[in-house]
Structure 1
Amino acid sequence: MDVLSLGGLFLAVFALLGGSILKGSGLGALWNVAAFVIVIVGTISAAMIQWRMQAFLRALKMFRWVLREPEMDRSGAIEKLVGWSQVARKEGLLGLERSSEEEPDAFLRKGLQLLVDGTEPDMIRNILHVEIDTLEDYDTLGAKVYESMGIYAPTLGIIGAVLGLIAVMQNLADPSKLGHGIAAAFTATIYGIASANLFFLPVGHKLKATVAAGSKYREMLVEGLASIAQGENPRSIEVKLNGYVSGG
């Protein structure tokens, strides 16, 4: 569980609710069904129009990474790679066939199979880097879905405020409704700006960082697999790969 992200979400809610109370508006001032429909539903609909189904669904699946990042045990992976390099030096690359069948990670399993098949180191790098780039592009689209909603939300907040003010103008003859109507109109602006800056944009940037970290992790795996194919000393492989851990 990502405690920092979870804490950030709670603080975002607290900032809005607490700020409304401290300003004397109360919690009721923040709830307006019309503003919610215009801003939140409108933002989601705009994203649905912009993005293809595949990217939109990927964005929904990726949201869990905000609170729990994909498992990337660098130290454990290095230990595996060093162990496989020792097996390869003693038994040859065919000695890794059993490991390739039992490896749960699909990316590593594919790399091990390439090793067992006797693929050249440069070819291993080329094949696996294509997969890294493809996966990175796919996941980056998911992150951009949230960023796009962060762009649409403030504008829809303004639209909601304008629509609310139009309703106020229609009731100028009744001064008792003016104050409440103006307050309700500006609630839409709060929804738009707050959702963009406290949710959509931070989520999009967090997911982009997670995607980049995943690509870096897989690059480390590729380097380890290629080093095994080159017959490098296990100790040299370990020292080389530890550079990825120290680099974050």
Structure 2
Amino acid sequence: MDITSIIGLIVGFGGVILGYLEEAHFDFSMLKNLWNPAAFFIVFGGGFGATLLAFPLSEWKKLISTISMIFTQKEYNEIDIINELADLSEKARKDGLLSLEQDAQTNNNDLIRKGLALVVDGIETEVIKDILARETSLQEEIYESAAKICESMGGTWPAMGVCGTVMGMLNILRDLSDPLGLGPKIAAAFVATFYGISTANLLWLPFGNKIKVKAERETMINEIIIEGLLSIQAGENPRIIKEKLNLNLMEKLHGGKKKGEATAEEGVEA
């Protein structure tokens, strides 16, 4: 479980409610003022409706299949993956590539399992690279679509909140015969804006960003896996593979460039 997502929701909504109660001198009966059925239907119904209109069902299926990643944490990490690939390389150098056949069936990582199967079957390097790269690219597209839907709701729901407030104000302005009752009516109208802004900034936008961050990390791990598998097929030294993958990991984490790439760019600039 990704504890930061749980803590973030609790602290986020808890902070908003606590701040509201502090303004109300901790009169808990004031919480009922945050409930407005009309505002709820306008913001939640209108927000979902507008987003449904913007994206086809196929895109929503991608969101449903990835929404759980917001609250879950992958058990493996980059260092574990690199060590595992180095161990597989050592095994292959000692006993041959066919010795990896069992690992190709039992490994916990889907991409490693698929890649090892291709390596054991003797598939050409370029073909393996292309297949695994496409697999990674397809997964990236799924995550990107899911993040787009969340970001779209993050933009639509505040707008629906403003719409709900405007509709409430229109009803208020039609009848100004009770000046003393205007305050509560205006306050009720602004509940819609509260719904829209709070859900967008405490749910949808953070959800979209969390999906993006986790997708980037998974893509980085997949790139390391692909490079490691190709090195195993090429029969490279396990120690060299481990060192190379660790260096590549550091470059990816710190946004660095390989020395060769930097030198080439400097040559072009010169």
The reply to whether residue 30 of structure 1 matches residue 8 of structure 2 is: no
TM-score (norm 2): 0.85
Report the Cα distance in structure 2 between the residues aligned to 1:219 and 1:137, rounded to whole angstroms.
15
1:41 is matched by which residue type in structure 2? Answer: G
**Secondary structure in 2 matching 1:29:** helix
Within 5 A, what are the aligned runs for 1:61-100? 61-100=65-104
Report the Cα distance in structure 1 between the residues aligned to 2:132 and 2:175, rounded to whole angstroms.
65
Report the Cα distance in structure 2 between the residues aligned to 1:137 and 1:175, rounded to whole angstroms.
55
Report the Cα distance in structure 2 between the residues aligned to 1:164 and 1:214, rounded to whole angstroms.
46
Report the Cα distance in structure 2 between the residues aligned to 1:178 and 1:226, rounded to whole angstroms.
71
The reply to whether residue 201 of structure 1 matches residue 240 of structure 2 is: no
- How high is the sequence identity, in percent, across the aligned residues? 37
2:154 is matched by which residue type in structure 1? Answer: G
1:232 is matched by which residue type in structure 2? Answer: E
The reply to whether residue 45 of structure 1 matches residue 36 of structure 2 is: no
- TM-superposed CA distance for 1:61, in Å, is 3.4
- TM-superposed CA distance for 1:176, in Å, is 4.2
> Structure 2 stretches of 5 or more lacking a match?
254-270
Aligned to 2:153: 149
- 1:5-35 C-alpha deviation (Å, 9 max, x unpaired): 2222112112221121222283222111111
Q: 1:87 touches 1:96 (CA, 8 Å); kept in 2?
A: yes
The reply to whether residue 13 of structure 1 matches residue 13 of structure 2 is: yes
- 1:20-75 C-alpha deviation (Å, 9 max, x unpaired): 12222832221111111111221112111111222213223322222223344323
- TM-superposed CA distance for 1:244, in Å, is 5.0
1:216 is matched by which residue type in structure 2? Answer: M
1:218 is matched by which residue type in structure 2? Answer: N
Runs (4+) of structure 1 moved beyond 4 Å?
244-248
> Structure 1 stretches of 5 or more lacking a match?
none
- TM-superposed CA distance for 1:189, in Å, is 0.8
Selected match of 2:133 from 129, 132, 142? 129
Aligned to 1:108: 112
**Secondary structure in 2 matching 1:238:** helix
2:201 is matched by which residue type in structure 1? Answer: N
Aligned pair count reads 248
**Secondary structure in 1 matching 2:209:** helix
Q: 1:165 touches 1:185 (CA, 8 Å); kept in 2?
A: yes
1:207–1:241 CA distance, 2 compared to 1 (3 A): same
**Secondary structure in 2 matching 1:136:** helix
Report the Cα distance in structure 2 between the residues aligned to 1:234 and 1:108, rounded to whole angstroms.
16
Report the Cα distance in structure 1 between the residues aligned to 2:156 and 2:65, rounded to whole angstroms.
21
Q: 2:85 touches 2:228 (CA, 8 Å); kept in 1?
A: yes
Within 5 A, what are the aligned runs for 1:185-196? 185-196=189-200
Report the Cα distance in structure 1 between the residues aligned to 2:73 and 2:62, rounded to whole angstroms.
15
Selected match of 2:219 from 215, 218, 226? 215
The reply to whether residue 179 of structure 1 matches residue 186 of structure 2 is: no
Q: 1:120 touches 1:229 (CA, 8 Å); kept in 2?
A: no
Selected match of 1:56 from 51, 56, 60? 60
Q: 1:78 touches 1:242 (CA, 8 Å); kept in 2?
A: yes
- TM-superposed CA distance for 1:208, in Å, is 0.7
Report the Cα distance in structure 2 between the residues aligned to 1:37 and 1:175, rounded to whole angstroms.
27
Q: 1:167 touches 1:181 (CA, 8 Å); kept in 2?
A: no
